[in-house]
Amino acid sequence: MTHGTTRSTARAFGASLVLAAALLTTACGTTQPGAAATVGDRVISEAELTTAVEELNAAGVSQDKLTPAIVLPYLIMEPSVVDFTTSQGGGDPMDAARQFLRTRGLADPADSTVRVMSSATIVQEVMGAGGAAADELASVIAKSKVSVNPRYGSFDATNPLRLVSSLPAWIVAPSP
């Protein structure tokens, strides 16, 4: 093999690595840097998600330690839940969530934390009651255009309370 052939083979190999890296990163669901998920045009940042997880754990709203994979579905569903609540003539779920969080020691909870608490409360109430309202909420959620960063899994509207793990071996899952 000649020196010139080695160089062109190396260039071709390098170019194929760059192409492979570009294809792998574009297949990762969200194209926004720092995005945990997108719902329609709305970006849920990893910072928002981390803040919500930390504040909810600090407030002790669950017996178990909450993780990003547990909290993210509620941020994803939140716009649908608000639309549903509004269509049902309900009040502002954010106020009730904010008041609840204050009783748990969060004097000034982040907006993402309030959105999670609001969404979780309504989803649990409506889905727990079942019936036509639960079916309607499920239908509203199913219409959402959702893209999730694969570090967290994928969103399945037929089971919106749980992200489906979709981690390739080379992606490290976020720690709680």
* Residue 88, pLDDT above cutoff 70: yes
pLDDT at residue 36 tops 90: yes
Residue 71 and residue 51 in contact, taking contact as beta carbons nearer than 8 Å: no
Instruction: Please state the rounded mean pLDDT for residues 8-24.
Output: 37
Average pLDDT score over residue span 158-163: 79
Which 3 state secondary structure label does DSSP give 36? Answer: strand
More confident residue, 139 or 21: 139
Q: What is the pLDDT of residue 41?
A: 92
pLDDT for position 90: 76
Measured in degrees and rounded to the nearest 5, phi and psi for residue 35 equal -90, 135
Q: What is the pTM of this model?
A: 0.75
The per-residue DSSP string of 93-137 comes to HHHHHHHHHHHTT-SS--HHHHHHHHHHHHHHHHHHH-HHHHHHH
Give phi and psi for 9, each to the nearest 5: -65, -40
pLDDT band at 70 (very low <50, low <70, confident <90, very high): very high
Q: Which range, of 15-19, 117-121, 155-159, 168-172, averages the lowest pLDDT?
A: 15-19
